[in-house]
Amino acid sequence: MKQSPVPARRMIWLVLGHVAWAAGFVALYAGLSIGCEYGWHVMELAGGVSVQRAMLIVLFLATLAATSVIAFLSWRRWSAARTKTAAAAPAPFLEWASFISSLTAVAAAIVSLAPSFVLTTCY
């Protein structure tokens, strides 16, 4: 059978950014709970920064990086697809929606997870 010009797997890009956000979200929540259980928040790493805080910041930055990379890649795909004609439907739409969707994932990562930098962690 003929291959589809827009394979179904491209739809995954619609959700990829948010999957990364969700993975980061769960990782941070799990890391935080385990850290509180093990007392990492009272273990100083260096310069007044606790092990807990360092771990949370690393996880946060990793989530931010992952969502941003996905947003960047989908931006590139969209730039390539936007010039195509309507006959290529739904490729231009799909790439645009994927790009915007991954941008919202970056925003969600910043707003929901940035409290890692400041708030007290366990109590």
Partner 1 sequence: MNREPERLNPIALHRQLAAIWDSGKGLQRLGAVNHTVLGKRFMVTAFVFFAIGGVLAMLIRAQLATPHSAFMDAATYNQIFTMHGTVMMFLFAIPMLEGAAIYFLPKMLGARDLAFPRLTALGYWCYLFGGTIIIVAMLAGVAPDSGWFMYTPLSSRPFSPGVNADVWLLGITFVEISAVCAAIEITVSILKLRAPGMSLDKMPIFGWYMLVTALMMIFGFPPLILASILLEVERAFDFPFFDPTRGGDSLLWAHLFWLFGHPEVYIIFLPAAGAVSMILPVLARNPLMGYRAIIVALIAMAFLSFGIWVHHMFTLGIPHLALAFFSAASALVAIPTGIQIFAWIATLAHGRPRFEIPMLYIFGFLVVFVAGGLTGVMLAMVPFNWQAHDTHFVVAHLHYVLVGGFVFPMLAAAYYWLPQVTGRLPVFKLSIPAFWLIFIGFNMTFFMMHITGLRGMPRRVFTYPADIGWDWLNLLSSVGGFILTMGFALFVIDVVLQLRFGKPFRRNPWGAGTLEWAQPTPPPSYNFASLPTVDRRADTLDAGRMGAELAGGRGYLGFARNGWMETLAVDMTTGRPEHVVLLPNNSMLPLWTSLAIGGFVLSLLFQFYLFSLVPLALVLVLALSWTRTTGQRADRGPIPIGRGEMAPTHYEISGAPSWWGMVFTLFANGTLFASLLFGALFLWAVAPNWPPPSTGEIGLVAPVLVLLAFALAAGTNHLAVAANRRGGSPLLWLALCAAAHLTAVIVLVWCIRNVVPDPTSHAYAAVCFILLAYAALHSSLGAVFAFYGFERFRQGYVSAVRSLDLRIGSLWHDYTAGTGAIAVILVVLMPALVAMGAWQQ
| Residue ranges that bind partner 1, judged by CB under 8 A | 1, 4-8, 10-11, 14-15, 18-19, 21-22, 25, 28-30, 32-34, 36-39, 56, 89-91, 93-94, 96-97, 100-101, 104-105, 108, 111-113, 115-116, 119-123
- Kindly report the length of the chain: 123
Dist. CA 93–CA 103, nearest whole Å:
15
Q: Are 41 and 54 in contact (CB under 8 A)?
A: no
Nearest to partner 1 of 7, 48 (CB atom): 7
CB of residue 117 to partner 1, shortest distance in Å: 10
CB of residue 34 to partner 1, shortest distance in Å: 5
Retrieve residue 71's tokens: 């947003």
Cα dihedral: 55, 56, 57, 61 (round 10): 100
Nearest to partner 1 of 1, 46 (CB atom): 1
Dist. CA 67–CA 61, nearest whole Å:
10
CB of residue 24 to partner 1, shortest distance in Å: 10
